Amino acid sequence: MHGIEQAKADIALLDRLNGAADRLAALTTLQADIIAQQGLIYEQAAKARQDAAFAKFSTVDITDKTQDEHVIRSSFEVSYTTSSWDGRQSVPKRVTMVGLLSMPDDLLGYLIERHPGKIPAKIAQLAADPYEAFERYFIGMKRGHLIGNAYDTNRAAQA
């Protein structure tokens, strides 16, 4: 009987092995679907966090107070409307500050994501990507000068 039981076990193993490729394909497809769903959930959560951070802003305006100056020596006035609690209710409050370095991070994100057309031209010209343009501006402010690259050379040639 030992031989018959062994043969049955071998046949069962052969059946499992024959179906293994199909099960592997099904599991791989399921895994890819789960990963895609997880990525979508992360994107939606990031968007919800961004929307919550941006919800307190309704307008943003940036005025170049020194239009004839180089971007590093320019003075920018930032005005924005935010929600403020007055003890009873949330009311709009207009805030004005001088200098982009004093902008809250979420306001900078709001400007770039929701109102990229309001980015000062002097800064927008630093790079094609608004995030990179601001990064180059802030680094230039820290160093006291801008560092050129191929993008700058190409833009200068077009002007």
Q: Is 144 helix (H, G, I), strand (E, B) or coil?
A: coil
Q: In this predicted model, what pLDDT tens digit does every residue of 29-41 receive, in sequence order?
A: 999 999 999 999 9
Going by C-alpha positions, the residue among 104, 113, 108 that lies closest to residue 47 is 113
Amino acid at 94: R
Does the pLDDT of residue 150 top 50, yes or no? no
For the chain, the structural domain boundaries read 1-55, 56-158
Edge-to-edge strand list for the sheet holding 90-98: 57-64, 76-85, 90-98
Q: In this predicted model, what pLDDT tens digit does every residue of 40-89 receive, in sequence order?
A: 999 999 999 999 889 889 889 999 998 888 888 899 999 999 988 888 88
- Residue 12 and residue 101: Cα distance in Å, rounded? 71
Under the banding of pLDDT at 50, 70 and 90, the label for residue 151 is low
Does the pLDDT of residue 155 top 60, yes or no? no
- Residue 10 and residue 67: Cα distance in Å, rounded? 85
